[in-house]
Amino acid sequence: MEYTKTFQDLQLDNLVSTAERLKREGWRCVQLFCTNTENGVDMTYTFANEYTLANYQVRGVTKDDVVPSIQDQFLGIFPFENESADLFGIHIDGMVLDFAGQFYAIAEKDPMTVLTPEAKERQEKEAKKAAAAAAKAAKDAEAAKGADEGEKSEADLEAKLAAMDPEKAAKVRAAMEAKKKKEAEKGGDA
């Protein structure tokens, strides 16, 4: 007989209710494995019922997330939850059998979350690209703000000139035009 396998994404806040439902329906939890990704750790829980394997994937778990234990429903998952805590630094709350980080005698804390040199280089490049994009966006926003202020000051000046004596206004406009022309010529020489 061949096993049927399914994969389904699962939100972290639905983990306990899904485990409770599967327990009521007669499923067994046969494994939990973790995969280190650039977005955090993907946790895959595998449940079995006769010849069906159902895999539920909780994606992008970070060290800031609290993962509820499902040992109260499936006690046999205790080695996998302790392994996830020891090797990946996952904070699993409420374990019935909690080895408190001593399930494995390891020299390095959370060894499976150490980045390869290639992954670290890729992350640094992406961070530089993001910083450059943010700097460009800030510069563009500042230029747009300056343009808006320039348009506003020109509009304010035109309003003042309209309220002036027409002869005075004409002289001010002529002086402004001469100044613009002089600045343009000066800029062309540079």
Domains in the chain, ordered, with CATH?
Answer: 4-114 (3.30.460.80), 118-189 (no CATH)
Residue written as tokens 């966006």? 137
Res 68 pLDDT > 70: yes
Q: Is 77 exposed, middle or buried (0-12, 13-18, 19+ CB in 10 A)?
A: buried
Over residues 111-154, the pLDDT tens digits come to 555 556 676 677 677 777 877 777 787 777 777 766 666 666 77
Structure tokens at 110: 């959370």
Contacts of 24 (CB under 8 A, 6+ apart): none
Mean pLDDT, the chain, rounded, equals 82
Res 110 pLDDT > 60: no
Compute how many other C-beta atoms are within 10 angstroms of the C-beta atom of residue 112. 17
Strands (E), the chain: 4-9, 28-37, 40-49, 52-61, 66-68, 91-93
What is the per-residue pLDDT for 13? 94
Over residues 19-47, the pLDDT tens digits come to 999 999 999 999 999 998 888 999 999 99
